[in-house]
């Protein structure tokens, strides 16, 4: 009989989860724990230990109820202490679970604990037992009984004690509270750090930051822990995380991000986070149940900001702008998101990803442009992050949402943290007057652009339309100039891509870069209605630098343009940025079969321009006009450069002299002609008349410091 009874005795083992009281907070928060962030009520506070002998006892340290396929699973975490000098044999004891009506449940031991039978003197083990109970069973309905085999007693067992639970006791961790778990004798303090829910279309997206803090001396691997959201209606949805097995080193604080999709038709009150250990092939063992609370209603698609917190800090995400920008045969949908550190200490910059959600139907993954010269945020500081995607130029939508995810450190999983949104009417490019500044505000590359003017150069079959912009550095250190992308757009939305001409090198503090935007248009095209679209060039996931080709742009804006600069009849203070030219005396001479021109000039340079185009050339001509029929005769045509090579190069300085001569195509001078000296700017073979002045007299020094005679 004794041997038969022994076969039915329960073998016990080490539990994976029990309650403890140490908080997981930082030192700064520790003083507040007892008043603001309490632990849940330990079950050991409502039940008393059951003594096996004078010095050994069983203590119930945690109890959990969690939904299962056929009802619920009740899990009991026991600590068994052997205070005697002899080995404690657990096979001498019988553990039973009944309800208040006396019906019994089958208790089983967790697989990992099934071989634990003897406890050495002066040691303690933790044991996990579980049973399947009814769907409506409450903890107060259960009675956990401990008996010892005694063949002198009726039924061969003698009751030692039992655990029962008051009706007021709950195993659910309240909002703001923490729970301590034991795993292989190592304490893990746990808490729902933040919880948020965002609405998008027919679904709510739940995001939870859950923290494990290892306060023990050994590393812990949580194998096959699963996470679930249980709604107030009892409906369960799995919450996913980036890795199935989590290793937590001693004194390490590990945050995991959980995300779940729940139908928007379900109310968001009364939800719980369930943690289940599914490493046991025979059963899913409940680890903990945590009450969830979301601040306010789910984030709506029309909001332009949200807050997000994790163990690194608290951040505000605000939609600074969302623009639809034309580019070649497609459009760019570009958003600028301002991320502000709302904490009191520096914090890491979140690594965001996500997508545009158009009309709650079409998902458009965006690319995140890496922030240059930025690796963290000071307290109260912010950074603007640009994201973009391409879409067909003819695609229309009514509203756009921006789903923002936070990537994991391994860059393998993205968890939704919030949502921003606007309407299509708010995505139009801003239209500015030509005298308004263009601001480039990204950290480490801050510059201010101003339009200097617009010019039209005439070629053989096309015109070259150009706009010149000065980019002034707002930084305190030398920087690479910002690479821009530009287009010209007409009143009827005809778009001409602009090529950009500038120089190379660095821009110093308070220095400037000179940029020329240029595009070829048909010879008879009306350029007076063209406007400039300009933006910061992007190549894949980085701002365009060097000679890289931009495949997108951000921070786009439209500028109305000033009227084209006219022709002056004075050669004093000609603005040829970054130069200023004054021709003071002009002396034309006929030397045999040649025409010789000599002039004295002053040429200054605006040295605040550190970078400027060098592809502009100049052409000077002397033309005789027949006053009767208007026929023109070109006596000399001479190419000029500024600070270039060769004898026809003008050099910086005062009271400079240059001479050049060419063959006279007419063999002399026709005194009946009216002679004019013209100066052209030449770009890409097209030219623009800059200045034109009556020449005056041959063989004499013509004083050009005075106004020309009409």
Task: Report, in angstroms and rounded to the nearest whole number, the Rg of the chain calculated over CA atoms.
Answer: 41
Are 422 and 317 in a shared domain?
A: yes
- The answer as to whether 87 is a domain residue is yes
- The answer as to whether 118 is a domain residue is yes
- The answer as to whether 280 is a domain residue is no
- Domain boundary pick from 559, 583, 615: 559
**N-to-C CA span, the chain:** 136
Are 405 and 479 in a shared domain?
A: no
Looking at residue 410, what is its pLDDT?
54
Residues 452-495 pLDDT 10s: 999 999 999 999 999 999 999 999 999 999 999 999 999 999 99
Q: Using alpha carbons, select from 274, 301, 284 the residue that is nearest to residue 202.
A: 301
Count the neighbouring beta carbons within 10 Å of the beta carbon of residue 507.
Answer: 24
Q: What angle do CA 96, 98, 103 make, to 5 degrees?
A: 125
- The answer as to whether 263 is a domain residue is no
- The answer as to whether 251 is a domain residue is no
User: Residue 36 is inside which H or E element, if any?
Assistant: helix 33-36
Q: Using alpha carbons, select from 472, 399, 488, 486 the residue that is nearest to residue 440.
A: 472
- Go through 103-142 and write b for each residue having 16 or more CB atoms within 10 A of its CB, e for each that does not: eebebbbbebbeebbebeeeeebbbbbbbbbeeebebebb
Could you give the CA distance from residue 39 to residue 688 in angstroms, rounded to a whole number?
A: 80
Are 43 and 165 in a shared domain?
A: yes
- Go through 571-597 and write b for each residue having 16 or more CB atoms within 10 A of its CB, e for each that does not: bbebebbbbbbbbbebbbebeeeebbb
Residue 372: DSSP 8-state: T
- Go through 669-684 and write b for each residue having 16 or more CB atoms within 10 A of its CB, e for each that does not: beeebebbbbbbbbbb
Number of domains in the chain: 4
**Centroid of chain to Cα 112:** 44
Are 12 and 161 in a shared domain?
A: yes
Are 370 and 480 in a shared domain?
A: no
3-class secondary-structure state, position 85: coil
CATH number of the domain at 18, please.
Answer: 2.60.40.10
CATH number of the domain at 607, please.
Answer: 2.60.40
- The answer as to whether 134 is a domain residue is yes
- Domain boundary pick from 520, 536, 559: 559
Burial class (CB in 10 A: 0-12, 13-18, 19+), 41: middle
Are 409 and 454 in a shared domain?
A: no
Count the neighbouring beta carbons within 10 Å of the beta carbon of residue 655.
Answer: 8
* Cα-based distances in Å from 179 to 137, 533, 583: 23, 57, 86
Looking at residue 416, what is its pLDDT?
79
Q: Are 534 and 485 in contact (CB under 8 A)?
A: yes
Are 156 and 7 in a shared domain?
A: yes
Q: Using alpha carbons, select from 33, 15, 280, 390 the residue that is nearest to residue 178.
A: 33
Looking at residue 200, what is its pLDDT?
60
- Bridge partner list, 117: none
Q: Which domain covers residue 131, as residue numbers?
A: 2-172
Burial class (CB in 10 A: 0-12, 13-18, 19+), 472: middle
> Model-level pTM?
0.67
Q: Using alpha carbons, select from 484, 458, 441, 416 the residue that is nearest to residue 204.
A: 416
> Which regions of the chain are under pLDDT 50?
1-37, 299-302
Are 481 and 494 in a shared domain?
A: yes
Are 596 and 524 in a shared domain?
A: no
Q: Are 110 and 64 in contact (CB under 8 A)?
A: no
Q: Count the helices and strands in the chain (H runs, E runs).
A: 3, 54
Q: Are 531 and 306 in contact (CB under 8 A)?
A: no
Cα pseudo-dihedral 86, 90, 94, 100, rounded to 10? 100
- Domain boundary pick from 427, 455, 485: 427
Could you give the CA distance from residue 295 to residue 297 in angstroms, rounded to a whole number?
A: 7
Are 16 and 134 in a shared domain?
A: yes
Q: Using alpha carbons, select from 502, 506, 498 the residue that is nearest to residue 481.
A: 506
- The answer as to whether 235 is a domain residue is no
Are 326 and 462 in a shared domain?
A: no
Are 442 and 403 in a shared domain?
A: no
Cα pseudo-dihedral 12, 18, 21, 26, rounded to 10? 130
- The answer as to whether 709 is a domain residue is no
Q: Region of 473 please: left (phi>0), alpha (psi -120 to 50) or beta.
A: beta
Cα pseudo-dihedral 390, 393, 395, 398, rounded to 10? 80
């Amino acid at each position: 009989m004794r041997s038969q009874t022994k076969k039915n005795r329960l073998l016990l083992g080490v539990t994976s989860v029990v309650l403890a009281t140490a908080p997981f907070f930082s030192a700064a928060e520790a003083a507040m724990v007892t008043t603001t962030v309490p632990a849940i009520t330990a079950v050991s506070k409502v039940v008393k230990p059951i003594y096996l002998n004078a010095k050994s006892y069983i203590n119930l340290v945690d109890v959990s109820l969690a939904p299962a396929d056929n009802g619920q699973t009740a899990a009991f975490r026991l600590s068994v202490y052997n205070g005697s000098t002899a080995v404690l044999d657990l096979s001498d004891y019988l553990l039973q679970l009944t309800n208040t009506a006396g019906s019994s449940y089958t208790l089983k031991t967790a697989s990992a604990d099934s071989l634990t039978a003897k406890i050495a003197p002066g040691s303690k083990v933790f044991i996990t037992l579980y049973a399947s109970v009814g769907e409506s069973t409450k903890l107060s309905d259960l009675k956990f009984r401990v008996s010892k085999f005694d063949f002198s007693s009726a039924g061969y067992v003698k009751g030692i004690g039992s655990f029962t639970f008051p009706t007021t006791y709950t195993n659910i961790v309240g909002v703001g509270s923490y729970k301590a778990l034991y795993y292989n004798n190592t304490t893990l303090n746990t808490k729902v750090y933040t919880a948020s829910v965002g609405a998008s279309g027919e679904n709510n997206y739940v995001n939870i930051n859950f923290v494990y803090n290892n306060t023990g001396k050994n590393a812990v691997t949580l194998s096959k822990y699963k996470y679930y959201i249980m709604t107030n209606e009892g409906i369960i949805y799995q919450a996913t995380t980036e890795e199935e097995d989590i290793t937590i080193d001693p004194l390490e604080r590990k945050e995991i991000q959980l995300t779940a999709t729940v139908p928007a038709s379900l109310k968001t009150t009364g939800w719980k986070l369930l943690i289940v250990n599914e490493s046991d092939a025979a059963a899913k063992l409940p680890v903990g149940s945590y009450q969830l609370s979301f601040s306010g209603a789910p984030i709506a698609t029309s909001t332009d900001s949200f807050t997000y917190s994790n163990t690194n800090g608290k951040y505000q995400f605000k939609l600074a702008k969302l623009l639809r920008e034309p580019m070649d045969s497609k459009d760019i949908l570009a958003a600028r998101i301002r991320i502000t550190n709302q904490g009191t200490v520096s914090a890491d910059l979140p690594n965001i990803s996500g997508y545009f959600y158009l009309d709650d139907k079409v998902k458009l993954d965006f690319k995140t442009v890496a922030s240059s010269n930025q690796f963290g945020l000071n307290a109260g500081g912010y950074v603007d992050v640009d994201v973009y995607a391409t879409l067909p130029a003819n695609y229309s939508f009514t509203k756009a949402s921006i789903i923002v995810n936070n990537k994991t450190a391994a860059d393998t999983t993205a968890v939704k943290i919030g949502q921003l949104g606007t309407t299509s009417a708010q995505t139009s490019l801003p239209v500015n007057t030509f005298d308004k500044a263009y601001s480039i505000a990204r950290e480490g590359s801050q510059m201010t652009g101003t339009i200097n003017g617009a010019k039209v150069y005439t070629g053989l079959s096309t015109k070259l339309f150009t706009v010149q912009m000065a980019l002034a550095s707002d930084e305190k250190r030398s920087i690479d100039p910002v690479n821009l992308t530009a287009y010209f757009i007409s009143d009827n939305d005809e778009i001409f891509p602009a090529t950009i001409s500038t120089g190379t090198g660095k821009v110093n503090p308070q220095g400037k870069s000179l940029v020329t935007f240029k595009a070829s248009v048909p010879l008879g095209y009306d350029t007076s209605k063209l406007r400039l679209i300009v933006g910061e060039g992007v190549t894949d996931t980085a701002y365009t630098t060097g000679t890289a080709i931009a495949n997108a742009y951000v921070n786009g804006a439209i500028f109305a343009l000033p009227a084209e600069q006219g022709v002056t009849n004075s050669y004093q203070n000609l603005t040829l940025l970054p130069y200023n030219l004054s021709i003071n005396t002009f002396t034309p001479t006929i030397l045999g079969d040649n025409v010789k021109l000599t002039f004295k000039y002053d040429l200054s340079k605006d040295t605040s321009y550190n970078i400027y185009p060098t592809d502009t050339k100049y052409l000077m001509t002397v033309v005789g006009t027949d006053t009767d029929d208007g026929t023109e005769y070109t006596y000399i045509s001479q190419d000029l450069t500024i600070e270039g090579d060769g004898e026809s190069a003008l050099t910086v300085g005062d009271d400079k002299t240059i001479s050049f001569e060419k063959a006279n195509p007419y063999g002399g001078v026709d005194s009946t002609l009216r002679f004019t000296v013209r100066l052209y700017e030449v770009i890409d073979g097209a030219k623009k008349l800059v200045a034109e002045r009556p020449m005056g007299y041959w063989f004499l020094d013509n004083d050009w410091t005075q106004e020309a005679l009409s």
